[in-house]
Structure 1
Amino acid sequence: MSTKETVFFTGGAGFIGMHVVPMLLEKDYKVRIFDNMFRGDRDAVAQLGDDVELIDQDVRYGGAVHAAMKGCSKVIHAAAVSINKSQADPYESMDINMIGNHNVFAAAADHGVDRLVYCSSASVYGDPERLPMHEDDKLLPITPYCIAKRAGEDLLGYYQRRADLSWIALRFFNVYGPGQKTTAYYTSVINHFVNRIKNGEPPVIDGKGEQSMDFIHVHDIARSVVLALESEQANVPVNIGTGIDTSIADLAHILIDAVGADVEPQFNPRDVLVSRRAADTTRAKEVLGFEPTIDVRTGMTELIRGQ
C-alpha cells in the first residue's frame, strides 16, 4: 500500500503542467493527470514514469471529474481554453472554463481535498488603472476567458464558505518558456520578432513600442504552483509575475541581442491602445515565500538559443 499522496491535475499534460509534474515527482507525490489531450503531449506524459497516471477525459463532464478525483488529497486545476480562442468561440470557452471550473471545485469540496490550486490569470484585472497591479485592485475582465477566470475565483470562495475548501488562485502574468506552442497569445509576438530577426529583417513594432508585459518564466510558474500546494496560508488570490514591465521595444532589443543580429526595430506609426502590466509581488512573497529566479533577458536568451 503506497503512502504517497496523489495530486489530481487537470490540464496537467499541457505546457505549464509538463513543467510542474517533474517538480511534484521530486517531492514524492503521485500525479493523476486529467486532460482531454487536445493540446497535451501523450509521448511526453508516458516518459514521466510509473507515478504518473493519465486519464484522457474532459472537465466538462462532472461525473468523470468526480470519479477520477477519488483518493486524491490535492488538486491543481489548469484545464482551460486559451484567451484568444475564447473570443473566437465563446460557447466552448464558457463550457470548458466555467462549467469545468465548477465541476472540479464541486468534486474537490465533495472529496474533502486538503488544497486546491487554481491557475487564474492577470487578465482578470483588464486594463489596469495603476502599476504595479495589486490583488485588491478593481477587476475588469474583458473576454470570456478572463470573465471565467474571475468567476472561478468567486466560486472558490463559495466552496470555501460551504465546505471549508482550502484554495489559492494564482494569477499568472505573461508566461513564456520552452515547450510553449508558437500560437500562444503573446508567444506569437516573440516568434514573429525572432523569425524576422533570424532572416536579417528588423522586427516591426506598432506605435512607439510602449505596450508592456510582465514576462514570467514557466520554471518560476511551476515553482509557484508547488509552493501554493503546500503553503500554510490559503484562500486568497496571488499574483505570479516578476514585478517588472518589459516594453515591446525592450523585448525586441533583448531578442535581437539573443539572436546576435545587426538590425534595429522599425516602428510603424499608428495609434495603439497602450497597456502596461507589472505584478505587485508582495503577497506572493508573504503567502508562498515565492520570488522569481529568472529575469526576462536571461530567460528569453536561453529560449532563443535553445531553439
Structure 2
Amino acid sequence: MSKKTVFITGGAGFIGLHVIPLLLEKDYQIRIFDNMARGDRARVNELIATGDVELVEQDVRYGGGVHNAMKGATHVIHFATVSINKSIADPYESIDINMVGNNNVFAAAADHGVERLVFASSASVYGDPKRLPMHEDDELNPLTPYCISKRAGEDLLGFYQRTKGLSWNALRFFNVYGPGQKIEAYYTSVINTFIQRIRAGQAPTIDGKGEQSMDFIHVTDLARSVVCALESEGDNLPINIGTGIDTSIATLARILIDALGSDVEPIFVPRDVLVSRRAADITRAREVLGWEPTITVEEGMTALVKAALEQ
C-alpha cells in the first residue's frame, strides 16, 4: 500500500513543525503548503531531507493553487492563518487569508474526498466566557476579525459536511506556548517579557492584582491532539484543547521567578483591569480523541526558561 499523505497548510510554522515529526513517526507522507512569509525554512529543509516531506510554496488565498496541490492527499491539516493582533491592525488581509483561505482549503478537501480534515480553531471564539471551565456548547462571542473567521470556519466545515460528506474536527486551541515560538506571539509576549525582566534582575510588573488568567497548553501536548483528531473515530465536532487549569498572571510570574532562581518580587500596578479568565473543559477531548495533556504549566515554563538560558 502507498503511504497516506497529509496536506498541511502553514506547516512551516511553530505548531506545524511540532506536528510533522509525529506524523512521520506514523509513516505518513507530508506535503507542506506554506507561503513561507513566517515559515522556518532551515527546519523545513531538514524535514525535506528525510525524503517523506515536500514543500509547495504557495498561498491559501489562491483556490486553484490549493486545489491542484492537494491532489492525492488523504488527510488535511489547516493551520495557515493571520494572528489576532494583525487581524485588528489589518482586517482586510485577515479576512482574505482567514476567510477566503479557509473556504479554499475546505472546498478542495471536500472535492478531493479526503478522509479527514483537522482545522486549527481557537478558544477566542468564546469571547469573554460567562463561566469556567469553557465548554464547546457554550455561547460563542468572537470579538476580532481573527476570532470571527475561526467561528465562521467551523460553520463552513459544517456546510461541506452536509453537502459533500467532509469529515472534520475543529480544535479550539487555548494558550499554546513552547520552544520555537516567535517571541512576539500574542499569548507568549507576557512570558517573554517577564523572563527578560527577571534575567536582568528587574521585577516583573503586573497590572492590577494579576488575576487575569490563561489556560497555557504546551505545544508538545497540543501537537499530539492534532494527530489524535486526524485519526479519531469521532468527527464533525469542535473540541477544546487546553489543560483545564487557569493560570493567573501573578502565578505565572511566580513560576518564572522560581525557575530562574531569582529573588525579585513582582510589582503590582494599581489600575482597573478587565479580569478575564480562561480554562478549557477538556472532557470532549478525552472522550472523542482519547487525548489529555501531560505537561504541567510549571514543567513547561521551567523547560522554556532553561532553553532561554542555554541560548
Normalising by structure 1, report the TM-score. 0.99
Q: Report whether the alignment pairs 1:200 with 2:201.
A: yes
Look up the match of 1:58: 59
**For the residues of structure 2 that align with 1:7 and 1:185, how far apart are their CA atoms?**
28
Q: Secondary structure of the equivalent of 1:284?
A: helix
Identity among equivalent positions (%) equals 75
Question: Following the alignment from structure 2 to structure 1, what is the Cα–Cα distance between the partners of residues 270 and 36?
Answer: 42
- Give CA-to-partner distance per residue, 1:66-106, whole Å, 9 cap, x none: 00000000000000000111000000000000000000000
Question: How many Å separate the matches in 2 of 1:131 and 1:41?
Answer: 36
Amino acid at match of 2:176: V
Residues in 2 aligned to 1:217 and 1:297: alpha-carbon distance in whole angstroms: 11
Long gaps (5+) in structure 2: none
Taking the aligned partners of 1:259 and 1:236, their CA distance within structure 2 comes to 41
State the TM-score, normalized to the length of structure 2: 0.98
Instruction: List per-residue Cα deviations over 1:242-267 (Å, max 9, x = no partner).
Output: 00000000000000011111101000
Aligned position for 1:15: 14
- Other structure's SS at 1:197 match: helix
Query: How many Å separate the matches in 1 of 2:262 and 2:245?
Result: 25
Q: Letter of the aligned partner of 2:89 in structure 1?
A: A
Please tell me the residue identity of whatever aligns with 1:168: N
Partner of 1:188: 189
**Secondary structure of the corresponding residue to residue 7 of structure 1:** strand
Which one-letter code corresponds to 1:34 in the other structure? F
Give structure 1 stretches of 5+ with no counterpart.
none
1:34, distance to aligned residue in structure 2 (A) = 0.1
The aligned amino acid for 2:10 is G
Residue 186 of structure 1: how far off its partner (Å): 2.0
Matching residue's letter, 2:20: V
Residues 201-240 of structure 1: matches in 2 within 5 Å? 201-240=202-241
Q: Does 1:161 align with 2:150?
A: no
Q: By how many angstroms is 1:151 displaced? A: 0.1
3-state DSSP of counterpart to 1:159? helix
Task: Give 3-state SS (helix, strand or coil) of 1:47's partner.
Answer: helix
Mapped pair 1:268 → 2:269: yes
CA RMSD of aligned residues (A): 0.6
For residues 44 and 72 of structure 1, the distance between their equivalents in structure 2, rounded to whole angstroms, comes to: 22
Following the alignment from structure 1 to structure 2, what is the Cα–Cα distance between the partners of residues 194 and 23?
Answer: 29
1:121-167 deviation line (CA, Å, top 9, x unaligned): 00000000000000000000000000000000000000000000000
1:16-52 residue CA offsets vs partner (Å, 9 max, x unmatched): 0000000000000000000010110111011112100
Match of residue 291 from structure 2: 290
The aligned counterpart of 2:45 is: 46
Other structure's SS at 2:287 match:
helix
Secondary structure in 2 aligned to 1:306? Answer: helix
Partner of 2:31: 32
Structure 2: how far apart are the matches of 1:221 and 1:303?
16
Runs of 4+ that moved beyond 3 A: none
Match of 1:78 in 2: 79
The C-alpha deviation readout for 1:171-203, integer Å capped at 9, x for no partner, is 000000000000011211111111110011100
